[in-house]
Amino acid sequence: MNDHVSRRDFIKKTAVITVAALVPVSVVSDAATALAAPKAGKPAKKIHIIKTKLKKFKGKEITWLEKDSAEFKKLMIPKIHLPLLAQNGGLVPLAIDSKYPMKKGDYISAFHVFDFNNPVPHVASFYLTPDNGRAFIATRIKLQQDSYVQVITEYSNGSLYGNREFVKVTVGGC
């Protein structure tokens, strides 16, 4: 057995291996950068989302409870039904639903919908009475960008509670 490797052989083999190792990598990396270039050329516009919660309304303090807390469930603070992703910002279905018993003297008297990422934050207000039987409202609203839709619930004793929901918007509609 001849274990001796000649100098010429060694150089040839190493050259082949290095070329084989280098070329595809560089080619692939070049191709990758070429593919990524058009995407990188248009930098993704980072939108600023205002996350502040509404503190006061009509001179009254608004209470923001934790979503898992017992008081949250006891007061039956309404659920906000929104799509995860709204493709058309000009037409986003919004439903506010609570199972709070609408008895005379103890009922949900109003919903106030706010969105701080819109040109005008106040979206709409809905005033209910015990004749409704159920605290439910469904509408369609306009949204400018990804944002938090805030619903302030007013009870008949005057207390205000807030709840909010995140929604992604592809094309703004304001």
- Residues forming contacts to another protein in the complex (CB under 8 A) are 90-92, 95, 115, 118-120, 122-129, 131-134, 136-143, 173-174
Nearer to another protein, 69 or 139 (CB): 139
Residue 64 φ then ψ, to 5°: -110, 110
Closest CA to 79 of 135, 122, 160: 135
In the complex, the smallest distance separating the C-beta of residue 65 from another protein, rounded to whole angstroms, is 25
In the complex, the smallest distance separating the C-beta of residue 134 from another protein, rounded to whole angstroms, is 4
Q: What is the DSSP letter of 103?
A: B
Nearer to another protein, 75 or 86 (CB): 86
**Is 113 in contact with 141 (CB distance < 8 Å)?**
yes
Nearer to another protein, 10 or 127 (CB): 127
In the complex, the smallest distance separating the C-beta of residue 163 from another protein, rounded to whole angstroms, is 18
Place of tokens 């001849």: 2
Nearer to another protein, 75 or 96 (CB): 96
Measured CA to CA, the distance from residue 49 to residue 148 in angstroms comes to 8
Distances (CA, A) of 90 to 49, 80, 152: 18, 18, 22
In the complex, the smallest distance separating the C-beta of residue 146 from another protein, rounded to whole angstroms, is 15
